[in-house]
Structure 1
Amino acid sequence: MSPRTTRRLRGTALTLALAAVLGGGLTACGAGAAASAGGTLRWASSYFPTHWDPVVGGSGAQFRELALVYASLTRTDEKGNAVPDLAKSWEYNAAGDQVTFHLRQGLKFSDGTPLDAAAVKAAIKRAKNQKNSALFGDLTSIESVTADGLDVVIHLSQVDYQIPQLLGERVLQVASPKAAQDPKKLDQNPVGAGPFTVTQVIPGTKAVLKKNPDYWDAANIHIDNVELTSAPDASTVVSGLQTGVYNFADIDPSQADAAKKAGLDVFVQPGFNAANISLNVNKAPFDNPQVVDAVRYAVNRKEFVDKLTFGYGEATDQPFPEGYVAYDPQSKDQYPYDPAKSRQLLAAAGYKPGDIKLDLVVPDSQPDAEIVQSQLAAVGITTNIKIDKNWATPFFAKNLTLSLYSTTGRDSAVQTLTAHFGPHGPLNLSSPYEPVGFEDAVAKVRRTPLDAADYAQVLQAATRAGLASRALVFTYSSPNLIAKSKTISALPKNPAHLDWTGVTISGR
């Protein structure tokens, strides 16, 4: 079997690892399920899009909402593998430095613009070059793109077998090139080729969508309309579900028991969520490694889990869940909670209690911030919690000294690593800083096919190199907790994604 054939549509190591971590759970109506279209999904979202331009919105939690409107070259199945979406197939060349995606015939955007290779090329170019793009750091392997009818040929600057995983709905949600000529307009009036089209957007509040009859898989979309609403206060979401104001909602762990008692379906959609404290090592006092280590030892991860997740979350010191292929066992508990050691390190760095005074900048009121403030105060670091709405503006946070971040992970493990630790990573407050050896370790992963015998070992070594970064201190993992009316059938259990394929709404 040729290298060209053996590199097609595979990810055995990823499949096995995700199956171990995510196995079991809800199943959905299959793609061929016999179900009539109908019903309205009334979704109260905790992640209502600030930006509807996928290039600006990046691959944060709102990608799930943007995926209502936009499709991508690939999507993921229930085991986390890349499978066809806009692209019906793909293959690498023998050298592994070029991959060709073959698009489906007859695709078009909701504004009637053809969705061909030229449109995909334009989307990649915009993601790499648009001034306010939050995605350019994820696309560093892509050197150029050639458009040939329905064939998208991606020329790589290095061997990179992660590309099909990478170019899914987190990074390459493809917008109409006609609409994207005015990115500011696109940002509030999205035009894609996904399962639904937007008929109305009230910024920050509500979006109304209808089924897209031209979506390539429209036959398996059985929902007519979507009303996407920015979730109100967490304590009122369950009552909204009970009264029928909503029939689907992201819920806070504190509301899970109430939702269950109300007779709602409550489930955890598997994911790769991880929260962290972000430090800017380009600024004092975090330009001193001893101060960074002091923060590492000051963190009591169990407190975050106990107070914030109500038993649904887990303590974490990595951006991956334990048992996942990229999780590095050698790095587990490298910096255990030890406030006495933290105080010793601060003293060795020349700081007395109260000497360090910092703003902890967050976009809104967050209980996480109060826990961090308390834990740092216990070792002598004073923080003032400062709310700044500009935090959500792309790259605003790069000017901060101390902040909090969280991630929903990425479909490509390498993408997750570079987002956190790479010199241009959106979650790296300390750009262009990266830990020594990280670049080489990631390059080795890219050169390793996902089904190679040593893939897990090589990937974990890259995770270990990334965790040497002084810019992030991981704290806990929060669940993707969903409550829905029993009239909505089960969703495919795709890790971190909300896939509406085959989902039905009864009793409408």
Structure 2
Amino acid sequence: MSVRITARRSRGAAGIALAAALAASLVACGSGGAATGSGGTLKWASSYFPTHWDPVVGGSGAQFRELALTYASLTRTDEQGNAVPDLAQSWDYNAAGDQVTFHLRPGLKFSDGEPVDGAAVKAAIERAKTQKNSALFGDLTSIKSVTANGLDAVVQLTQVDYQIPQLLGERVLQIASPKAAADPQKLDQNPVGAGPFTLTQLIPGTKAVLKKNPDYWDAKDIHIDSVELTSAPDVSTVVSGLQTGVYNFADLDPSQADAAKKAGLDVFVQPGFNADNISLNVNKAPFDNDKVVDAVRYAVNRQEFVDKLTFGYGSVTDQPFPEGYVAYDPQSKNRYPYDPAKSRQLLAEAGYQPGAIKLDLVIPKADPAAEIVQSQLAAVGITVNIKIDKNWATPFFAKDLTFSLYGTTGRDSALQTLTAHFGPNGPLNLSSPYEPAGFEDAVAKVRQTPIDSPDYASVLQAATRAGLQSKALVFTYSEPNLIAKNKSISALPKNPAHIDWTGVTISGS
């Protein structure tokens, strides 16, 4: 029997769990239906202004939220974290679970007039898998091939994988016009998609001006006429810019939250999957010694990161998921509690006297988290030298570093988050090709389990548990996405990690 998903898809175990976790979050505007007010300009100050506007190059970092102004995807994420229709109005699996067919909405077109059809989906996936500078090829290893059949895109898989609708959403497959994508270099600074807005002006790295796309499939629920996206010059200037009306919407550093509240601005927490970690390379000394790895684990005081870096908005974490989310494994909670005495004992058992281990902590820019790591490890006898390398990404992703820090925004597919961190080819696994024993089998079982199966949560948590056996990462803290806005902008849907403009209005325009 095939599995069919439509707009009326049931929540499933994943949705129920995430809904419980996010119940205390913002009250959202309803998506769809009539909305009061219309027009107006969104003036968005961003600390992560896109370097690349080609979604294949931009990858799935925080910039996907801004690229989503111009690009749409096959699916998107609802408030419970489920995949729901976007360009695809429905999808269904074959009985074996190794093929999924996406059925696109009829009559859609990209902003250059090209049709949004199965051929466009095929081109987007193939480009993401093969373009030399693609940041997405590692996310698409389950896809063998794609066949276009009119408005249908038939995705053949290398294995049973029920995660594909979650995966091919806004973070991993924003779809560009195939005609425009034939020149990827041009597309990179001139985005052509089928999203809610179209670009009219771009000053690279500084400012983008966009207007509402009347051909967007849900244009009736987009009530903003235009967008001015500006790169925020400095976090300390954002609040004053919001007060004076230079901006009316901005992502906010936790250090500025109190000032924004005192200024009478709306400050709200957008649920997310952000998690920071200390990355170790177990293929290099001294982390090829398990006792040294465990010593680092016990030396970490996660609460200090929260207290000093998040201004009350963060929380400790020892996993890449927030507590209460469907993939969070309660059995693994606090497995390595803060215990500096035990850390020193393990180092002694490994044959290291205090001060014998000297490490370079390589990071891309100055980061107070690095100073906390330096201080905490010094307390157990490990000397850390902080080294800033602006080209840090090259040695990190080449797995040449021994010791570093990394923060992730997660993925819409929880399994993809796990494989990115713990898999043998995971981009966030500094110890590749190392992976913890049993991880591959646990991952395969998740792929083979439909997301709305009653067993899904327990199977997924077992995969998290297997991944957390990894010696390559020590998770420290998480913080939500903080946003400040002028009160003229209505509440946003609270879709985790996403910024969704559906139903949002700007009053007094």
**What range is the shorter-chain TM-score in?**
over 0.9
> Aligned partners of 2:128 and 2:361: how far apart in 1?
30
Q: Which residue of 1 aligns with 2:247?
A: 246
Which secondary structure does the structure 1 equivalent of 2:391 belong to?
A: helix
Contact persistence 1:138–1:425 (CA under 8 A):
no
Q: Give CA deviations for 1:27-48 in whole Å, capped at 9, x if unaligned.
A: 2143112445411111111222
CA distance in 1, matches of 2:406, 2:505: 35
CA contact (8 A) 2:420 2:428 kept: yes
Question: Structure 1 residue runs of 4+, over 4 Å off?
Answer: 5-8, 392-397
Q: Following TM superposition, by how much is the alpha carbon of 1:16 offset from its aligned partner in structure 2, in angstroms?
A: 0.6
- Identify the range of structure 1 (480-489 vs 362-371) with the bigger mean alpha-carbon deviation: 362-371
Match of 1:20 in 2: 20
1: CA distance between counterparts of 2:498 and 2:393? 22
1:62 matched to which residue of 2?
63
Instruction: Tell me, yes or no, if structure 1 residue 324 matches structure 2 residue 330.
Output: no
Cα 1:43–1:133, aligned 2, differ >3 Å: closer, same or farther?
A: same
| One-letter code aligned to 2:311 | F
1: CA distance between counterparts of 2:150 and 2:375? 58
**C-alpha displacement of 1:189:** 2.3
Cα 1:238–1:382 shift into 2, 3 Å: same
Q: What is the distance in 2 between the residues matched to 1:359 and 1:45?
A: 32
User: C-alpha deviations, 1:12-33, integer Å up to 9, x for none?
Assistant: 1011101100125322143112
> Is 1:436 matched up with 2:437?
yes
1:101-180 correspondence runs (5 A): 101-180=102-181
Report the counterpart of residue 295 of structure 1 in structure 2.
296
Amino acid at match of 1:94: A
Aligned residue in 1 for 2:86: 85
SS in structure 2 of the partner of residue 119 of structure 1: helix
Measured against aligned partners, the alpha-carbon deviations of 1:267-309 in whole angstroms (never above 9, x if no partner) come to: 1001111111111222222222222111111111000000011
Letter in 1 for 2:17: A
Whether 1:228 aligns to 2:226 is no
Correspondence for 1:418: 419
Per-residue deviation at 1:396?
Answer: 4.3
Q: Pick closer, same or farther for the CA change 1:475–1:223 going to 2, 3 Å.
A: same
CA contact (8 A) 2:139 2:172 kept: yes
Q: Contact conserved, 1:9 with 1:82, CA < 8 A, in 2?
A: no
What's the TM-score once normalised by structure 2's chain length? 0.96
Aligned with 1:389: secondary structure?
A: coil
Partner of 1:456: 457
Contact 2:397 2:430 in 1 (8 A): no
Deviations 1:379-414 (A, max 9, x none): 222222222222356964632221111111211111
In structure 1, give the amino acid aligned to 2:303: K
CA–CA separation in structure 1 for the residues paired with 2:277 and 2:48? 18
Aligned to 2:406: 405
Q: How many residues are treated as equivalent by the alignment?
A: 507
Aligned position for 2:368: 367
What residue ranges of structure 2 are gaps of 5+ in the alignment? none
* Structure 2 match to 1:200: 201
Given that 2:395 and 2:401 are in contact with CA atoms closer than 8 Å, whether structure 1 keeps it comes out as: no
Runs of 5+ unmatched residues, structure 1? none
Structure 1 range deviating more: 316-325 or 399-408? 399-408
Question: CA 1:17–1:349 in structure 2 vs 1: closer, same or farther (change >3 Å)?
Answer: same
CA-CA distance at 1:217 after TM superposition: 1.2
1:4 alignment partner in structure 2:
3
What displacement does 1:234 show? 1.8
Structure 1 match to 2:446: 445
- Secondary structure of the residue that 2:73 maps to in structure 1? coil
Q: Does the C-alpha gap of structure 1 residues 397 and 5 become closer, same or farther in structure 2, counting only changes over 3 Å?
A: closer
**Residue in structure 2 matched with residue 491 of structure 1 by the alignment:** 492
Q: 1:184 to 1:286 in 2, by over 3 A?
A: farther
Distance in 2 (CA, whole Å) between partners of 1:34 and 1:344 is 63
Q: Distance in 2 between matches of 1:447 and 1:116?
A: 28
SS of residue paired to 1:241: helix
Aligned partner of 1:229: which letter? T
Q: Which amino acid counterpart does residue 476 of structure 1 have in structure 2? A: Y
Amino acid at match of 1:76: T
Give the Cα–Cα distance (whole angstroms) in 1 for the partners of residues 256 and 4 of structure 2: 49
The 3-state SS of whatever aligns with 1:399 is coil
Instruction: State the partner residue of 2:286.
Output: 285
Q: Partner residue of 1:341?
A: 342
The answer to whether the Cα contact below 8 Å between 1:209 and 1:227 also exists between their aligned partners in 2 is: yes
Structure 2 equivalent of residue 312 of structure 1? 313
Cα deviation, residue 64, structure 1: 0.8
Report Cα offsets for 1:402-445 as digits up to 9, x if no partner. Answer: 11111112111111111111122221122222111111101101
Per the normalisation by structure 1, the TM-score is 0.96
Contact between 2:38 and 2:507, CA under 8 Å: does it hold in 1? no
- For residues 56-78 of structure 1, give each alpha carbon's deviation from its aligned partner in whole angstroms, at most 9, with x where no partner exists: 22111111111111110000111
Percent identical residues: 83
Task: Flag the 1:128–1:475 CA change in 2: closer, same or farther, 3 A.
Answer: same
Change (3 A) 1:180 1:6: closer
Conserved? CA contact 2:248–2:485, under 8 Å: yes
1:496-507 mapped onto 2 (5 Å cutoff)? 496-507=497-508
Contact 1:279 1:472 in 2 (8 A): yes
